[in-house]
Structure 1
Amino acid sequence: MNRRAFLGAVGATVSVGLLGRRAFATEDPLVVRVWPSTRAAEHEPVGRLRGYLVAALEPVVGPVAVQRGEGSVDLPREGGRQVLSRRWPRRVLLGASGFGQINPVDGVNLLVTDGDPTVQPAGFARPGVAAATGASAVARMPPVDEIDPVVPYSIPAAATQLALHECGHALGFTHEQGSVTESEGGIVSSPMVGSYYWARPAVRDRQLNGAENACGESYPAPNLGGKRRLRLRYADCVTDRHQ
């Protein structure tokens, strides 16, 4: 894909957004191309992540094709703002201009590194481009068809949800399109809110900015008793509105 086509596709993503895309749906699937870093490739996270991306995105946007990018991406380190939010987007733009090894698509170009998903910043996204840490943790997740869509909090589940979170941002989702609900004696956070809900108050307030549930209810209190649970699908009411 050349630079003009790539930037045009990114502009369409900004205008239409993840939810609006369904109204303009064609038979062509949304393509999510995933590149592992060189260290992440040792864990082969793409195959495991593919199932979770398809299961979460298809109810919202229709058919999804998850592809592995050719080769792996050499990085000076596996996390940090410089790598996730600067180096990777530059690599994607260079690839769109015909330079380097990255051949971007007009859907989502996702980098997965072997960085620690509990250390911030753990991910990054802008239209058409996303990055997430936690490859070794994702690789420890069971196949998507062997577990429920809502799971107890764990580092592997949080890393998997992080990839869904950043892909959602790359397609136009905001934190306001996430949900946090009480269910089965626990608090369930969907991908577009994720672990931010249990972060320090200053971080939570900055990231969520007083957002309310996409489903209309107020967030339950973060210090409410109960187990932490993560949803590996986007919020039901958001999906239902666009089916």
Structure 2
Amino acid sequence: MNRRRFLAGAGATLSLGFVGQQALRSPESTVVRVWFSDAAASYEGLAATVEGYLGAALEPAIGPVEFDFAPEPLSLPAESGRRVLATHWPARVARGAVGMDEVDPVDGVNLLVTDGHPTKQPSGYARPHVAAATGAESIARMSPVDETPVVVPYSVRAAATQVVLHEVAHALGADHEHGAVRRTDDALVASPMIGSYLWASEAVRERHLPDRNACGGAVPDETDSLERRLRMRYADCALERLGDGSR
């Protein structure tokens, strides 16, 4: 049997538990390597925004995070769609782990950001060590993290940026149950592991949101009468889960 041909064909289903055997390891920090698609790479400020928001959200849970941006953008069959996010990208990471693709994965998180429209579903995808998110143009337009409050009004750019936090946390072991919703006098505030699912259709909510979360709260049923806001940091139970996974 031609082993190389077999691995290339099976790339989408290979376990990624072996990624660290040939990939970059850092004993002092978690490495997040980021690739941009050809179209995403054209947006000035995208790298700084991704690094700023991810670093601010992750470091309280897992300590120092090292960001490594691939020097060249990736050509993809499309900028969005389940086939690209959930099949093509994980397969390339798996092939790269055994030296069969230009993608050179790390043992932490391998993140792809594309220029797909963030309101078109799916807007992201994740599995262990692998994450993908669309919305590059919107993310690049987000204000710098050090000029932005932790809780912001709902907008496409904020939602797209929060999807990056959502998918990377999935890649590190968090799930939707590690999200939280906080009610204020005039607003509902969704943390990254719930995010825009809070205002989705009933069918989508039933498929993705738990009745109660690991933070000890319930996800409210009535959301229409209150202002929508997004939290750009993880909930306490997500921080705990991410911290457990990093040890």
What band does the TM-score fall into relative to the shorter chain? 0.7 to 0.9
Are 2:172 and 1:171 aligned? yes
- Summarize the alignment of residues 5-44 of structure 1 with structure 2, pairs less than 5 Å apart: 7-8=17-18, 28-44=28-44
Task: Give, as a single letter, the amino acid of the residue that structure 2 aligns with 1:194.
Answer: G
Asked whether the 8 Å contact 1:197–1:222 carries over to 2, the reply is no
CA distance in 2, matches of 1:87, 1:219: 33
Structure 1 ranges of 4+ moved more than 6 A: none
Letter in 2 for 1:175: H
Structure 1 residues 95, 8: CA separation in 2 closer, same or farther (over 3 Å shift)?
A: closer
Aligned-residue offset at 1:238: 4.1
The 3 A distance-change label for structure 1 pair 37 and 184 is: farther
Q: How does 1:172-191 map to 2 (within 5 A)?
A: 172-191=173-192
- 1:73-152 alignment runs, 5 A limit: 73-152=74-153
Q: CA deviation at 1:180?
A: 0.8
Q: Say if 1:10 and 1:125 are closer, same or farther in 2 by CA, change over 3 A.
A: farther
Report Cα offsets for 1:21-58 as digits up to 9, x if no partner. Answer: xxxxx951101111000000001422211000000000
**Superimposed CA distance per residue, residues 58-97 of structure 1 (whole angstroms, 9 cap, x where no aligned partner):** 0111111121112111012110011000000111111111
Q: Which whole-Å CA distance do the structure 2 matches of 1:106 and 1:27 have between them?
A: 11
Deviation string, structure 1 residues 75-128 (Cα, Å, up to 9, x no partner): 121100110000001111111111221110000000000001111111100000
Deviates more, 1:107-116 or 1:92-101: 92-101
Q: Secondary structure in 1 aligned to 2:32?
A: strand
Kindly provide the CA deviation profile for residues 119-150 of structure 1, in whole angstroms up to 9, marking residues without a partner as x. 11111000000100000000000110001111
CA 112–222 in structure 1, closer or farther in 2 if over 3 Å, else same: farther
Task: Sort the Cα spacing of 1:132 and 1:77 in 2 relative to 1 into closer, same or farther, 3 A.
Answer: same
Provide TM-score, normalisation by structure 2: 0.85
Count of paired positions: 226
Q: Secondary structure at the match of 1:142?
A: coil
Give ranges in structure 1 of 5+ residues lacking alignment: 12-25
Identity among equivalent pairs (%): 52
SS of match in other structure, 2:33: strand
Q: Which residue of 1 aligns with 2:200?
A: 199
SS in 2 for 1:168: helix
- For normalisation by structure 1, the TM-score amounts to 0.86
Supply the AA of the counterpart residue of 1:8: F
- Structure 1 position 235 matched with structure 2 position 235: yes
Secondary structure of the 2:222 match is: coil
Aligned partner letter, 2:204: V
SS of equivalent residue, structure 2 residue 110: strand
Helix, strand or coil: the match of 1:125? strand
Determine helix, strand or coil for the equivalent of 2:188: strand
1:236 to partner: Cα distance: 2.9
* Uncovered stretches (5+) of structure 2, i.e. residues with no partner: 1-10
